[in-house]
């Protein structure tokens, strides 16, 4: 026998090691989970709520100046949206007060109800003056959950007041199941 034959005969059979396979399987599971999460994330968000985000960035100084003008007005606003239920018409009311707690009369007040988590169910409404300083509208939010209410009150072209508040619309408990 020569030396090569002896070496081949004396080597023990290689034993199967599970660690390399386990490491490969581990990384396959991690990358699969990441791929699923990325796919779900990309397909579940409809896009930007604000379509003109670049232009809004450019106009930021105008926004700051408008806020300063609004602060000088001394107006305050109180929003009442306690009775809003999904799918049912409810009243949304705004009390608009000026300096020295004086009611702001004969203003044009409009509002937008929108969901901060998506697009497509925005509700635009006009509030009518019930009595001096009290403006209201009947609206029917289509879904329960968190909503933002944007209010804009104007008296003249130079007097512009904006307000935003986050509200919760309750679930309609009288719906048939």
- pLDDT band of 132, cuts 50, 70, 90: very high
The CATH number of the domain holding residue 116 is 2.60.40.10
Domain membership of residue 43 (yes or no) is no
Number of domains in the chain: 1
Give the model confidence (pLDDT) of 83-105 as tens digits. Answer: 899 989 999 999 999 988 899 99
Pairing of strands 145-156, 134-139: unpaired
How does pLDDT run across 165-174, given as a tens digit for each residue? 999 999 888 7
Has residue 31 been placed in a domain? no
Report field, pTM of the whole predicted structure over 0.75: no
pLDDT for 11-60, tens place per residue?
666 788 889 999 999 999 999 999 999 999 888 776 656 677 788 788 88
């Amino acid at each position: 026998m020569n030396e090569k034959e002896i070496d081949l005969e004396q080597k023990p059979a290689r034993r199967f090691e599970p660690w390399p396979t386990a490491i490969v399987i581990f990384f396959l599971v991690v990358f699969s989970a990441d791929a699923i999460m990325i796919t779900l994330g990309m397909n579940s968000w409809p896009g930007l709520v604000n379509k003109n985000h670049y232009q809004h960035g450019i106009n930021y100084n105008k926004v700051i100046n408008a806020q300063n003008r609004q602060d000088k007005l001394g107006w305050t606003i109180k929003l009442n949206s306690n009775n809003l239920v999904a799918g049912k018409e409810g009243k949304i009311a705004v009390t608009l007060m000026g300096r020295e707690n004086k009611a702001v009369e004969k203003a044009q007040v409009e509002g937008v109800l929108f969901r901060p988590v998506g697009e497509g169910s925005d509700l635009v409404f006009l509030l009518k003056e019930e009595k001096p300083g009290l403006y209201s509208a009947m609206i029917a939010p289509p879904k329960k959950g968190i909503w933002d209410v944007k209010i804009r009150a104007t008296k003249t072209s130079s007097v512009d007041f904006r307000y935003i508040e986050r509200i919760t619309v309750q679930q309609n408990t009288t719906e048939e199941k």
